[in-house]
Amino acid sequence: MAERKKFAIILAAGKGSRMESEVAKQFLMLNDKPVLCYSIDSFLHAGKDIELIIVFPADLLNTGKSVLKQYYPEIEFTVTAGGETRFHSVLQGLKQVPAEVPSLILVHDAARCLVSPALIGKCLREAAIHGSAVPVVSCTDSLRWKDESGNKAIDRNRIFLVQTPQAFKSELLIPAFQAEYEISFTDEATVVEKAGLSIHTIEGEPGNIKITRPLDLKLAEFLFTSESHLKRPV
């Protein structure tokens, strides 16, 4: 059986309003380069056979292209404009993938800039076997369910936090995204699940945090400089 092609759709199409910054969070500087670059670096180190597709906001497409040219002058990326929601941005990225070629497709949030090449590789291997691979981590906080009648505790041992990259065989992911958009589509797993397919979860990484608020950027800076953090090659 021929080896599948590999594609990674890196979503850098958000504006990051919760960052309280005029600069979109994917372009904020983290140490010596933009947040986006750290995600790209991890995928480049995960495998030279992974074709990268970068999705930028339509009004920041030229900004994104300039960043790529500045930090990766010798690499040709596929670049496209995103849509109104995450779902639509992924859909735009999928249009850059040849549907007739069996492949493995990773979808990753550029704001998860501490993702390791090891996790990327694990997602690819597990998706090749099970059709999908979605990294999750245990919830360590106490939880309560709140509704009109009040609130009650939830067993946190049954709750898991979902990360990216999420990997799928192309024949599962591409058809699933032909569905009409629903507000419940918060990630790729929810779209594939809606199509009637089961999701295979794998153990994620506690350090694979998402840059959402200013404090997250400070935490990422600490993790990259801390001796206790497993540094990636640059």
Instruction: Determine, yes or no, domain membership for 39.
Output: yes
Q: What is the pLDDT of residues 55-80, one digit of tens each?
A: 999 999 999 999 999 999 999 999 99
Instruction: Determine, yes or no, domain membership for 234.
Output: no
Q: Dihedral sign for Cα 132, 45, 50, 31, please.
A: positive
Instruction: Determine, yes or no, domain membership for 84.
Output: yes
Instruction: Determine, yes or no, domain membership for 232.
Output: no
Instruction: Determine, yes or no, domain membership for 38.
Output: yes
> What range does the domain containing 12 cover?
5-225
Q: Across all residues in the chain, what is the average pLDDT?
A: 92
Instruction: Determine, yes or no, domain membership for 101.
Output: yes
Number of structural domains, the chain? Answer: 1
- CATH number of the domain residue 70 falls in: 3.90.550.10
Strand ranges in 12-57 using DSSP code E only, listed in sequence order: 29-30, 33-34, 50-56
pTM of the model: 0.93
pLDDT band for 224, please (50, 70, 90 cuts): confident
pLDDT band for 171, please (50, 70, 90 cuts): very high
Instruction: Determine, yes or no, domain membership for 128.
Output: yes
Instruction: Determine, yes or no, domain membership for 231.
Output: no
Are 97 and 174 in contact, with CB atoms under 8 Å apart? yes
